[in-house]
């Protein structure tokens, strides 16, 4: 793909910025992780949006404001970029970027570690949205494994107690936290999986804890005790691969797959979030969200292909035959 010189420069800085956002956020010893992530994340999006506008209008002038006498020439803001590219104010991708960008602009004393519990889903979705648009707009991918594109999140139930926040930080911070909490909760309902990735939880008895996120233990006599061990599961960590990541992983092995091939494999093996949750995850609450896959899914398909070189073709044939049967049923 031909890109203008300025576009290439903007993309390089944008990619470096998103990687810095991830690197800093995933270091628990960094004190200003939230603020730093928001700064680098917003900068990454601002640069990629400007690069996209330049290519769409075939001119760098589109990102510059009219120069005033005696002043340096300035570029348009990220809000201007979002308005031109995502013209629908209710676009979930736009809302995700706007809400993270807004946190960047808040007073430092309002940014507390407890906000992590509210924003982690937005951060993870925002990173995935960035990677998808980098590929969609510029046919570029980050030279990094999908696992490193995830957000490390330390869960602590006490962090989301409004009373404890009020005691610890005071009324002003407590009010700010509650406003943010309610707004994000409403936005998740309104905008769905492209706005924020939900944290998914399961409950199981200790006798079969392998798939449990919350484990209810039993005493020696078999009587249930009220002790809960909470282990939150973030789909962005357990199922970090989108379809495009799957294709990239197989391409490294010299295997060319298509999006349709993945669909055919799922049909042949009856892989759905319900039948094979260890392989596939998809947000059940919101419609039209992208499926996410686990490393186990990749290993499963690799094993199938290694065992039978015609495996993908078999899956395609199976899909065509099933589709033909469905069409006959409709007729």
Poorest-pLDDT segment among 147-156, 200-209, 318-327: 200-209
User: By C-alpha distance, which of 128, 138, 95 is closest to 18?
Assistant: 128
The Cα–Cα gap between 200 and 206 comes to 19
Look at residue 172 and tell me whether its pLDDT is greater than 50. Answer: yes
pLDDT range class, residue 223, cuts 50, 70, 90: very low
CA angle 306, 307, 313 (to 5 degrees): 85
pLDDT at 139: 92
pLDDT at 330: 37
Instruction: Note the pLDDT tens digit of each residue in 259-313.
Output: 999 999 999 999 998 888 888 988 776 666 788 998 889 989 998 999 899 999 9
Poorest-pLDDT segment among 99-113, 168-182, 212-226: 212-226
For the chain, how many residues are written? 331
Q: What are 278's two structure tokens?
A: 């260890």
Q: What are 196's two structure tokens?
A: 């924020």
292-293 and 280-281: which strand pairing? Answer: antiparallel
Instruction: Note the pLDDT tens digit of each residue in 96-136.
Output: 999 999 998 887 778 888 888 889 899 989 999 999 999 99
Q: What are 114's two structure tokens?
A: 């407890």
Which helix (DSSP H) or strand (DSSP E) does residue 277 occupy?
none
CA angle 190, 194, 198 (to 5 degrees): 80
Share of the chain above pLDDT 70, in %: 79
């Amino acid at each position: 793909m031909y890109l203008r010189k300025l576009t290439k420069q903007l993309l390089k800085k944008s990619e470096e910025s998103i990687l810095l956002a991830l690197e800093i956020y995933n270091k628990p010893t960094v004190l200003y992780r939230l603020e730093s992530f928001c700064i680098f994340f917003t900068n990454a999006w601002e640069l990629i949006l400007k690069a996209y506008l330049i290519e769409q209008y075939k001119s760098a002038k589109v990102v510059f404001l009219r120069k005033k006498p005696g002043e340096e020439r300035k570029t348009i803001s990220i809000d201007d970029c979002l308005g031109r590219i995502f013209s629908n104010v209710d676009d979930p991708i736009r809302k995700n970027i706007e809400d993270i960008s807004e946190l960047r602009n808040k007073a430092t004393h309002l940014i507390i570690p407890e906000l992590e519990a509210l924003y982690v889903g937005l951060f993870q979705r925002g990173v995935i949205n960035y990677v998808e648009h980098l590929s969609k707009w510029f046919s570029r991918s980050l030279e990094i494994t999908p696992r490193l594109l995830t957000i490390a999140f330390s869960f602590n139930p006490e962090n989301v107690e409004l009373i404890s926040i009020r005691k610890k930080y005071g009324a002003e911070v407590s009010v700010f936290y509650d406003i943010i909490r309610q707004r994000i909760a409403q936005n998740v309902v309104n905008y769905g999986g492209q706005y924020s990735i939900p944290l998914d939880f399961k409950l199981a008895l200790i006798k079969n804890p392998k798939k449990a996120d919350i484990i209810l233990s039993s005493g020696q006599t078999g009587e249930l005790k009220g002790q809960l061990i909470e282990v939150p599961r973030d789909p962005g960590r357990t199922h970090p691969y989108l379809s495009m990541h799957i294709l990239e992983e197989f391409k490294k092995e010299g295997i060319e797959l298509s999006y349709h091939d993945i669909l055919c494999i799922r049909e042949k093996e009856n892989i759905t979030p319900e039948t094979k949750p260890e392989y596939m995850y998809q947000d059940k609450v919101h419609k039209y969200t992208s499926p996410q896959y686990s490393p186990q899914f990749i290993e499963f398909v690799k094993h199938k292909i290694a065992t039978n070189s015609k495996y993908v073709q078999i899956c395609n044939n199976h899909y065509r035959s099933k589709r033909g049967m469905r069409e006959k049923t409709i007729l």
